[in-house]
Amino acid sequence: MKLIKYFLTFFASLVLFSNVSLAEKWDMALAYGAGNFHSANATEFAKNVSEKSGGKLTIVAHPGGSLFKGGEIFRAVRTGQAQIGERFMSALGKEDPLLEVDSQPFLATSYDDAMKLYQASKKEIIKGLDAKGLVFLYAVPWPAQGLYSKKEISSVADLKGLKFRAYNSATIRIAELTGMAPTKIEAAEISQAFSTGAVESMITSPTTGKNSKIWENGVKYFYDIAAWFPKNMVIVHKGAWNKLDSATQKLIMSEAAIAEKKGWELSKKGNVADKKALADAGMKVGKVNADLQKHFQKVGSTMAEEWKKKAGDRGASVLAAYK
């Protein structure tokens, strides 16, 4: 009887140990603050997967760059330092030009067009990430990008020498083509950059301006040029992904589709509400004049041609599918 009892205890311990060893914990690196809609949506995604996985997977969200800063997240996930993370796609143009497609000025200037562009480019983007050992989960756009400035901008001449916050190669190129002076600054450093005078203008979403309370740093103008709808994507290290059973993988993809749909709706709401928040805070929210609009569109056409050459046949096929 003692021998039977011993084997039963040993077997129970073995089963318990096996279950524990099957349980996985992922740390999710998020660049933006907990109150940002991207981070809130990703945190809800993590919570839903954790609760529905039956103990097989726990995803812990780390917003506000607390695990890795924005510029470090892609590398951290690719090398397995973080199992999962969210990154601003077009900041990764050097990794793959296809990741910049959503930041080509005036290529997609509405949510409908932004979705068409996403659908046209998604397959190639997934293929490129897969080759780098990454699994793509979902992508969500920021609201339409507008032009912020401390000074009123009423002519092309007003852009010359303007200290401009850049965050990817596309915004650096815009600055070069318009005569502005670019400085690369991550979203978390925007307030400090404006308050110290390091920059005095930027192109970004009304959400980023609202979240950073940009009006407190002397920024008085927001020009609603709807330049592009850049996206954040959530990616997973393939090694971590391959440790999961097929049921858990299927659950993640299902929850990712839900998070993506919700994220797009949150972005659309923010596109309206956050511009109102800027106006309510005393900023002048409006459009640029016809001459400036024509100038920006010309810049966009130049950049589109440059991007096509850089992206090669893959880029050409994406643009053909989009148009």
Q: pLDDT at position 6, please?
A: 53
Predicted local confidence at residue 186, as pLDDT: 85
According to the model, what pLDDT value does residue 155 have? 95
Check whether residue 121 and residue 256 sit in a common domain.
Answer: yes
Identify whether residues 290 and 318 lie together within a single domain. Answer: yes
Q: Is the pLDDT of residue 21 over 50?
A: no
pLDDT digits (tens, 9 = 90+) for 56-108: 999 999 999 999 999 999 999 999 999 999 999 999 999 999 999 999 999 99
* Mean pLDDT, residues 295-307: 92
* 4 part of a folded domain: no
User: Quick check: is 10 in a domain?
Assistant: no
Quick one: average pLDDT of 225-249?
Answer: 97
**Residue 125 sits in the same domain as residue 203:** no
Answer whether residue 18 is part of any domain: no
**What gap in Å lies between CA 104 and CA 90, rounded to an integer?**
9
> How many domains does one find in the chain?
2
Q: Give yes or no: residues 90 and 168 share one domain.
A: no
The reply to whether 115 and 248 lie within a common domain is yes
Query: Are residues 261 and 189 located together in one domain of the fold?
Result: no
In a domain, 165, yes or no: yes
Report the DSSP beta bridge partners of residue 202: 148, 165
- What is the SS3 assignment for the chain? CHHHHHHHHHHHHHHHHHHHHHCEEEEEECCCCCCCHHHHHHHHHHHHHHHHCCCCEEEEEECCCCCCCHHHHHHHHHCCCCCEEEEEHHHHCCCCHHHHHHHCCCCCCCHHHHHHHHHHHHHHHHHHHHHCCEEEEEEEECCCCEEEECCCCCCHHHHCCCEEEECCHHHHHHHHHHCCEEEECCHHHHHHHHHHCCCCEEEECHHHHHHCCHHHHCCCEEECCCCCCCEEEEEEEHHHHHCCCHHHHHHHHHHHHHHHHHHHHHHHHHHHHHHHHHHHCCCEEECCCHHHHHHHHHHHHHHHHHHHHHHHHHHHHHHHHHC
Q: Are 214 and 263 within one domain?
A: no
Whether 65 is in a domain gets the answer yes
Residues 222 and 281 in one domain: yes
Whether residues 182 and 284 fall in one domain: yes
CATH (domain of 135)? 3.40.190.170
Claim to verify: residue 215 and residue 80 sit in the same structural domain: no
pLDDT at 13 over 60: no
253 with 172, same domain: the answer is no
293 falls within a domain: yes
Residue 164, both tokens: 């401009």
Domain membership of residue 63 as a residue range: 24-95+110-141+231-272
Domain assignment present for residue 179? The answer is yes
Residues 218 and 264 in one domain: no
